[in-house]
Amino acid sequence: MQWTKKDLLGLEYLSPEEIELILDTAESFKEVSTREIKKVPALRGKTAVNLFYEPSTRTRVSFEVAAKRLSADVINIAAETSSVRKGETLIDTGKNIQALKADIVIMRHSCSGAANMLARSLDISVVNAGDGWHEHPTQALLDIFTLKEKLGKIKGLNVAIVGDIAHSRVARSNIWGLTKLGAKVTLCAPEILLPPGIETTGAKTSSNIDEVLKNADAVNVLRMQFERDEGAAFPQQLDYFKKFGITEERLSRVKKEIIIMHPGPINRGIEMSSGVADGDQSVILEQVTNGIAVRMAVLFLVSQAKEAKS
């Protein structure tokens, strides 16, 4: 299996084999972070630019750590403090970064499709770190990596995604990735947060959290994104917690162990109780650790693909 894509834009565009290749490569990279000297020279002399048009701490830092552990140089650009405020277009910003002879642009943007557009305009690699409601491929890859590590396989698993499906790029990337690898995905949310037509992706939908938990091997709990909505469409926070929040009481009614995931940052007492977030079934912090390995694998593969082409 060879990696041939210069960009990583979304899991929709990858074959199951390409997803497996990223996961297998990430498994090898995980060991690097356990060393006393947590660094390998694979991307020595390469420059990665973090271009973030939306606030982010964990994804940006995770990419930065990943790039540095591969010995790449990292430059961070936050759009609020850059020429974007003077009216520069995304493509112009991208071309300027390319003219600086950077090798990889890691971009987060509030518009769906922004990464695809940038990738078409540039010869250097573009890695999507989240675009609007479209995709957040590395988050889904690290979720799937963590699941595979915990349960040994993805094929045949029942995975529930609970929460704000409508506004969630994490949900979309997870649906693509999980179904391509043979898992069954159930989306669980109040009806107003389930976008019409989402079933065409192959995922089932439900608004009964207790039923969904009964059949699930793992639950990916999404953050309620209050910043994306003025509040009209969202149910009251307390009401949501009562009907959909993952609590110890709710989990105790399910006979088996369920793996609890969350992409962070957690709203404690809204999506899940503190007891669940910190409990034995939670793998939330392991997801953060695995995120580094997955992003190292992605950065390594896209930069190798470019070398092979030229």
CA atoms in the 13 A half-sphere facing the CB of 135: 23
Query: To 10 degrees, the CA torsion angle through 222, 77, 134, 152?
Result: -50
Residue 123 lies near other proteins (rule: CB under 8 A): no
The CA-based diameter of the chain, rounded to the nearest angstrom, is 58
Q: How many CB atoms lie within 10 A of CB 2?
A: 10
Local structure of 161: helix, strand or coil = strand
To other proteins, the closest distance from the beta carbon of 302 in angstroms equals: 11
Cα separation of 142 and 26, whole Å? 9
- Binder of other proteins out of 5, 16, 20, 42 (CB under 8 A): 42
Residue 230 lies near other proteins (rule: CB under 8 A): no
CA atoms in the 13 A half-sphere facing the CB of 11: 32
CA 171 to chain centre: 9
To other proteins, the closest distance from the beta carbon of 178 in angstroms equals: 24
Residue 145 lies near other proteins (rule: CB under 8 A): no
Window 48 to 107, contacts with other proteins (CB under 8 A): 70
Structural contact between residues 36 and 12, judged by C-beta atoms closer than 8 angstroms: no
Residue 285 lies near other proteins (rule: CB under 8 A): no
Given the complex with other proteins, which of 240 and 300 has the nearer CB atom? 300
To other proteins, the closest distance from the beta carbon of 304 in angstroms equals: 5
Query: Could you tell me how many residues make up the chain?
Result: 310
Residue 307 lies near other proteins (rule: CB under 8 A): yes
- Binder of other proteins out of 15, 28, 57, 121 (CB under 8 A): 28
Q: Hey, CA dihedral for 110, 115, 121, 125, is it positive or negative?
A: positive
Q: Which span (28-36, 73-81, 131-139, 202-210) binds other proteins, by CB under 8 A? A: 28-36
To other proteins, the closest distance from the beta carbon of 37 in angstroms equals: 5
Residue 111 lies near other proteins (rule: CB under 8 A): no
Q: Binding residues for other proteins, per CB under 8 A?
A: 2-3, 24-25, 27-29, 31-32, 35-37, 39-42, 70, 297, 300, 304-305, 307-308
